[in-house]
Amino acid sequence: MTPRIELRPSPHVVKGASVEHIMFHVVLALLPIATFSVWQYGLSALALIVVVTLACIASERLFNRLSGKPSTLSDWSATITGLLLALTLPPSFPLWMGAVASFTAIALGKALFGGIGCNVLNPALVGRAFVQAAFPVAITTWVPAFAPRRFSEFVPTTFTAPLMTPPDIAAWALQAKSVLDGFTGATPLARWKFENVLATPADLLSGAVTASAGETSALLILLCGAYLAARKFMDWRIPVADLGSAALTALVFQMIDPARYPDPLFVLLSGGLMLGAVFMATDMATSPVTPKGVWLYGALIGVVTVMIRYFGGLSEGVMYAILIGNALSPLIDQVTQPKVFGAVKGKKA
Amino acid sequence: MSLFPFFRRKTFSRGVHPDANKRTAGSPIRRMPFASRMILPLAQHIGKPAVPLVRAGEEVVRGQPIARADGFLSVPLHAPADGVIEAIELKPSARGPWVESLVLRVYEASTQEVRWANPCDVESLSPKEILQAIQDSGMVGLGGATFPSHAKLSVPAEHKIHTLIVNGCECEPYLTCDHRLMLEHPADLMVGVRLAMRAIGAERAIIGVEDNKLDAVAAIRECLPADSSITVQVVPTKYPQGAEKMLIKSLLDLEVPPGKLPMQVGVVVNNIGTLAQLGQLLPAGQGLTERVVTVTGPGIKKPGDYWVPIGTPMRTVLEWAGAADSGEREIILGGPMMGQAVASLEVPVTKGVPGILVFDQLQIEAARQVWPCIKCGECVNACPMGLNPSMLGMLAVQREYEEMGTHYHLGDCFECGCCTYVCPSHIPLVQQFRVAKGVLRGKAA
C-alpha cells in the first residue's frame, strides 16, 4: 500500500501555543481571586460569580447558534469575560442585573464585532459600563467584607425580582457594623473623594474594605498576574506601564498639593486599578501589538485613570480609562509600527 | 564561552527558538549507493535552465557534463553515475509542476570513481578564472537558495567587498549536514574560503557558527591560516540566524537596507557547505555530482547524514534510510521551518536539498484548529525583519494586497516562518504572504 502523503505549507513545526491554552490559564489565574472574593463576601458573591459567568457562556452559545457558527465555548474566552465581569460588580449586585450585564457584554462587546479577536472594546467592561448607566444605585451599593453571617444568608438584594427596586440592605450591613468599625457603605476611593478619609495600605492589601467582588486584594491579583506573565500568557509590559504611569501621575499631583491628593500607594491599591491593569488592560484583542504601542497604551490608561479619579464626577476611573485605551489601540498600532530591518530612521523605506 | 553570562554575544533582534532535534549531529556522513534510475531536472538553480549536451540513448560516465549553462545566470549539470540516458522528458518536481529532466539508467557496475575531471592548480588562477571554474563545476548555493555561486561571487565594479561571511549557522532544526561537513572537511572548507576571498577581493573572512556546534568551531580553528585573515565567530543559537541579513547583523552589526543585497554594505555571504565542496571540487576539476543530505525525522528508522548522488529519487533515499511505508506522512525537502513538502516520491534530490525530513501521524496532527487573530503580538515579537505579521495577515484576509506591499513592507518578508511558528491561533501567515506576493508579482508583470 502506498502511504498517504500529506502536503502542508512551511513552517512544518509549531511552537505549540494555542488560544485555548492561553485562555485556560487566564481562567486558572482568575480562580484564586474569585475564591478570595467568595471568602470575603460569602454566598452572594458566589451566586453572582456563578450566575454572571454562566450567563456569559449561555449568551456566547446563543450567538454561536444565531450566526450559524460552531461553538466557541471551548476557547474559554466567554468564561473569562464572565469571571472578570462578576469580579468588577459589587457583591450585593442583584443577580438579574448581573445577567443583563453578561448578555450586554457578549452581545454588544463581542458578538456584534464578530466574536473572539474581532472586538474593539473589552467585553466585560462593555457589560459593566452598560449596567453602570442602567442601574446607577445598585452598582454603587456596597456591603461590608467579612460580615459574620455571610455564609449563612444572602444579601437581600441578591434575589431582587427583575425590574423591581432592590430592597434596602442597611439592616443586613448592620450586622457587620457591630464587628467592624467604620463601615460606611462607600468604597475607599469614594470616601477619599467625597469625605476626604484615607484608607490604610494594610486594609487595602488585606481586602478589609468595601469594593467590587474581585478588586480587594491587590496582593493576590499581583501574584496571579505574575504567574500569567511568567508563563508568558500575559504581556507584563501593560500592567507595568499602567501602574507605573498611574503612580507617577499621582506622585506629581501629591507634590503639587500634598493636602489635597493622596499618596501614590493609595492610588495603586484602591479601587479596580490593580484588577484592571493586570487582567483587563492586558486583554490581547483590545490592546496594541507593537512594542512601543504596548507601553504607550499602558501609560495612557494609567494617566487617564488618575485624571478621572481626581477630576471626574465618578470616584473610580479604571473602567473608562481602559475603554478609552481599547478604542485608541488601533490608532496606537498605526503610529507605532516597528522599524523595518535595515530601514534608516526617519526615512520612508 | 564568555566568563560573564551578562556579556551576551551580539545577535539580531527577535527571532524564535524552536527545538533543535539535531539527532544526527553525532554520527559521520555515510555514503548512499546509486539508485537504479536517476532523475536530473535541467533547472536545479535560479536562472535559465541548463541545455542538454546528450541525447537519449547516449552513454555517460560519472562526472561528465550532460547539460551546459545557458548564459551567465545558469550552471551546467554533471552525470552522477555511469549509465545511459534513457530519456529527456517531463518529471515531477518538488514544487509541483513537471519539469524537463534527464533520466539516467545507472549501470550496475558503476563505481564511485569520478571518470571525468580536469584538475588544475587553483593557486595560479586569476579571480576571473576562479569564477569560470566555479560556474563549470555547476555549483549553486547549497543551503537551499540554489543561486549560482559564480554569480553570487561576481562583484560589480561599483562595490568594494571588505568581508566574506561564511554561513555555518545551520539554524534550521533537524539539519546537520553543514555541521558534519565542518567537522569532517575543515581543510576543504579553508581552500574554498580562500578561493572565494580571492574571487571577490575580500581581505578577511568570518565564519559564523551557532553556539550549539562548538565542536565544529574547534575543528575549523585547527585549520585556520596563521595570518588571521580567516576567523571563526560564535553566534547565539537562534532561528533564523543563518539568514544572510541576520548573520551580517550579528557578526558585523551592519543592516542591509530593504530590497538591497549584502554587497551594499561590502559583504558577500556564502554557505559553508557550498565553500567546503568548492574547496574539494575546484582543485580536482570536477563537477557537482553529490551533496550531503540530512535524512531524519520521526518517520525515519536510520537517520543520518548521507552523501547522496544528485538525481536520486526520494523513494530510494527513504527506502535506504528506512522510512515506514504505511500510514500518513509528510515528506519535507529542507528544514522544518522553510522546507517544501513534496507530493511525489519520484521527486529527486537536487542541488538545493540540504535535508529530507519525514514526519509521521503525530506531527501531522499538530496542525489543528485555526482561530481568528487575537492580536497577541507574538508574531510582531518574533519577526526578525521588524514587520507586523498580525496586520499583514488581517490585510491578506481582506485581499488588500497593494496595501500590504506599500505600507506594511511585504517585500521584506523572506518567509522564515517565525510568525506562523509562534501564532497561538495557528493562522498560516507565511502562506498568506506567499499568495499576496504572487498576486502582486502577477500584477506587476
Could A333 and B391 be called an inter-chain contact, meaning their C-beta atoms sit closer than 8 Å? yes
Given a contact cutoff of 8 angstroms between Cβ atoms, the answer to whether A118 and B373 are in contact is no
Distance from CA of B224 to the nearest CA of A (A): 32
The torsion angles phi and psi of B144, rounded to 5 degrees, stand at 135, -15
- pLDDT of A155: 82
Q: What's the pTM?
A: 0.88
Q: Which residues of B touch A325 (CB under 8 A)?
A: none
Q: Which residues of A touch B430 (CB under 8 A)?
A: 9-11
Asked whether residue A13 is domain-assigned, the answer is: no
Nearest by CB to residue A11, choosing from B256, B343, B420, is B420
Nearest C-alpha in A relative to B386: A340
Q: Which residues of A touch B359 (CB under 8 A)?
A: 6, 12
Alpha helices in chain A (DSSP H): 19-41, 43-66, 77-88, 95-109, 123-134, 170-179, 188-190, 201-206, 218-230, 237-256, 264-269, 273-275, 291-311, 318-335
Smallest Cα–Cα separation from B172: which of B245, B237, B252? B237
Residues B322 and B203 in one domain: no
Residues B125 and B239 in one domain: yes
Distance from CA of A285 to the nearest CA of B (A): 5
Q: Where are the beta strands (DSSP E) in B286-347?
A: 290-296, 304-309, 329-333, 340-341
* Full residue range of the structural domain in which residue B327 is found: 32-107+287-364
Q: Is A255's Cβ below 8 Å from some Cβ in B? A: no
Nearest C-alpha in A relative to B257: A342
Residues A170 and A70 in one domain: yes
Could B359 and A12 be called an inter-chain contact, meaning their C-beta atoms sit closer than 8 Å? yes
Distance from CA of A107 to the nearest CA of B (A): 18
Domain boundary among B231, B260, B284: B284
Residues B99 and B53 in one domain: yes
Residues A193 and A159 in one domain: no
Asked whether residue A50 is domain-assigned, the answer is: yes
Nearest C-alpha in B relative to A343: B257
Q: Which residues of A touch B344 (CB under 8 A)?
A: 5
Residues A192 and A177 in one domain: no
The percentage of chain A sitting over the pLDDT mark of 70, rounded to a whole number, equals 93
Distance from CA of A18 to the nearest CA of B (A): 4
Nearest by CB to residue A4, choosing from B328, B337, B341, is B328
Which residues 102-131 in chain A show a CB within 8 A of chain B?
Answer: 114-118
C-alpha dist (Å) from residue A198 to A145, A203, A250, A258: 18, 11, 15, 13
Asked whether residue B262 is domain-assigned, the answer is: yes
Question: Is the pLDDT confidence value at A147 over 90?
Answer: no
Mean pLDDT across B193-215: 93
Question: Is the pLDDT confidence value at B197 over 70?
Answer: yes
Q: What is the rounded CA–CA span in Å between residue A76 and residue A79? A: 5
Could A340 and B385 be called an inter-chain contact, meaning their C-beta atoms sit closer than 8 Å? yes
Given a contact cutoff of 8 angstroms between Cβ atoms, the answer to whether A259 and A311 are in contact is no
Could B415 and A341 be called an inter-chain contact, meaning their C-beta atoms sit closer than 8 Å? no
Instruction: Select from A8, A13, A232 the residue whose CB has the most chain B CBs within 10 Å, as the one to mutate to test that interface.
Output: A13
Distance from CA of A233 to the nearest CA of B (A): 9
Q: To which residue does cell 507574538 refer?
A: B378
Q: Which residues of B touch A15 (CB under 8 A)?
A: 16, 18, 421-422
Question: Is the pLDDT confidence value at B146 over 50?
Answer: yes
Instruction: Select from A12, A21, A22, A289 the residue whose CB has the most chain B CBs within 10 Å, as the one to mutate to test that interface.
Output: A12
Residues A119 and A214 in one domain: no
Could A17 and B173 be called an inter-chain contact, meaning their C-beta atoms sit closer than 8 Å? no
Asked whether residue B11 is domain-assigned, the answer is: no
Mean pLDDT across A207-230: 84
The phi-psi region of residue B345 (left if phi > 0; otherwise alpha if psi is between -120 and 50; otherwise beta) is: alpha
Question: Which value, in Å, is the radius of gyration of the alpha carbons in chain A?
Answer: 22
The percentage of chain A sitting over the pLDDT mark of 90, rounded to a whole number, equals 50
Nearest C-alpha in B relative to A282: B376
Q: What is the pLDDT of residues A219-259, one digit of tens each?
A: 889 999 999 999 989 999 999 999 999 999 999 999 998 88
Domain boundary among A181, A211, A239: A181
CATH of the domain at B44: 3.10.20.600
Residues A103 and A123 in one domain: yes
Instruction: Select from B371, B391, B410, B423 the residue whose CB has the most chain A CBs within 10 Å, as the one to mutate to test that interface.
Output: B371
Which is more confidently placed, B224 or A150? Answer: B224
- pLDDT of A122: 94
Q: Which residues of B touch A339 (CB under 8 A)?
A: 386
Asked whether residue A275 is domain-assigned, the answer is: yes
Report which secondary-structure segment, H or E, holds B361: helix B361-365
Residues B310 and B163 in one domain: no
- pLDDT of A205: 73
Q: What is the rounded average pLDDT for all residues in chain A?
A: 87
Question: Is the pLDDT confidence value at B30 over 60?
Answer: yes
Q: Which residues of B touch A337 (CB under 8 A)?
A: 388, 408
Mean pLDDT across A286-310: 94
For residue A264, cis peptide bond before it (omega within 30 degrees of 0): no
Could B371 and A294 be called an inter-chain contact, meaning their C-beta atoms sit closer than 8 Å? no
Number of CB pairs, chain A paired with chain B, less than 8 A apart: 178
Q: What is the pLDDT of residues B272-305, one digit of tens each?
A: 999 999 999 999 999 999 999 999 988 888 899 9
Nearest by CB to residue B329, choosing from A5, A9, A341, is A5
Asked whether residue B112 is domain-assigned, the answer is: no
* Full residue range of the structural domain in which residue A37 is found: 18-141+143-181
Query: CA B46, B51, B57: angle at the middle one, nearest 5?
Result: 130
Residues B148 and B97 in one domain: no
Residues A251 and A298 in one domain: yes
Question: Is the pLDDT confidence value at A201 over 90?
Answer: no
Residues B384 and B433 in one domain: yes
Residues B195 and B276 in one domain: yes
Nearest C-alpha in A relative to B328: A4
Smallest Cα–Cα separation from A209: which of A93, A217, A262, A139? A217
- pLDDT of A177: 57
- pLDDT of A29: 94
Residues A28 and A54 in one domain: yes
Residues B247 and B341 in one domain: no
Q: What is the pLDDT of residues A98-134, one digit of tens each?
A: 999 999 999 999 999 988 888 999 999 999 999 999 9
Mean pLDDT across B367-386: 88
Asked whether residue B1 is domain-assigned, the answer is: no
Lowest pLDDT segment from A98-107, B6-15, B392-401: B6-15
Helix B214-223 / helix B177-184 crossing angle, nearest 10 deg: 30
Residues B235 and B384 in one domain: no
Q: What is the rounded average pLDDT for all residues in chain B?
A: 90
Asked whether residue B113 is domain-assigned, the answer is: no
- pLDDT of A348: 45
Domain boundary among B284, B317, B338: B284
Q: What is the rounded CA–CA span in Å between residue A32 and residue A38? A: 10
The percentage of chain B sitting over the pLDDT mark of 70, rounded to a whole number, equals 96
% helix, strand, coil for chain B, step of 5:
30, 20, 50
How many domains, in total, are found in chain A? Answer: 2
Nearest by CB to residue A13, choosing from B173, B258, B387, is B173
Distance from CA of A212 to the nearest CA of B (A): 28
Could A13 and B326 be called an inter-chain contact, meaning their C-beta atoms sit closer than 8 Å? no
How many domains, in total, are found in chain B? Answer: 3
Tell me how crowded residue A196 is: count the other CB atoms within 10 A of its CB. 10
Domain boundary among B333, B364, B395: B364
Residues B195 and B91 in one domain: no
Q: What is the dihedral of CA A130, A132, A133, A134, to 10 degrees?
A: 80
Nearest by CB to residue A10, choosing from B339, B342, B375, is B339
- The ipTM estimated for the assembled molecules is 0.85
Q: What is the pLDDT of residues B85-114, one digit of tens each?
A: 999 999 998 888 899 999 999 998 888 888
Asked whether residue A342 is domain-assigned, the answer is: no
N- to C-terminal Cα separation, chain B: 51
Lowest pLDDT segment from B171-175, B364-368, B434-438: B364-368
Could A3 and B256 be called an inter-chain contact, meaning their C-beta atoms sit closer than 8 Å? no
Confidence at B138, pLDDT banded by 50, 70, 90 = very high
Instruction: Enumerate the β-bridge partners of residue B84.
Output: B59, B105
What number of helices (H) and strands (E) belong to chain B?
14, 17
Q: Which residues of A touch B325 (CB under 8 A)?
A: 1, 3
C-alpha cell at B139: 555549483
Distance from CA of A283 to the nearest CA of B (A): 8
Distance from CA of A157 to the nearest CA of B (A): 38
Lowest pLDDT segment from A78-92, A143-157, A228-242: A143-157
Residues A221 and A296 in one domain: yes
Which residues 151-190 in chain A show a CB within 8 A of chain B?
Answer: none
Distance from CA of B227 to the nearest CA of A (A): 33
Q: Is A348's Cβ below 8 Å from some Cβ in B? A: no
Mean pLDDT across B187-205: 93
DSSP notation for A7-68 = --PSP-------HHHHHHHHHHHHHHHHHHHHHHHTHHHHHHHHHHHHHHHHHHHHHHHHTT
Amino acid identity at B371: W
Provide the b/e sequence for A56-78 (b: ≥16 CB within 10 Å): bbbbbeebbeeeeeeebeebbbb
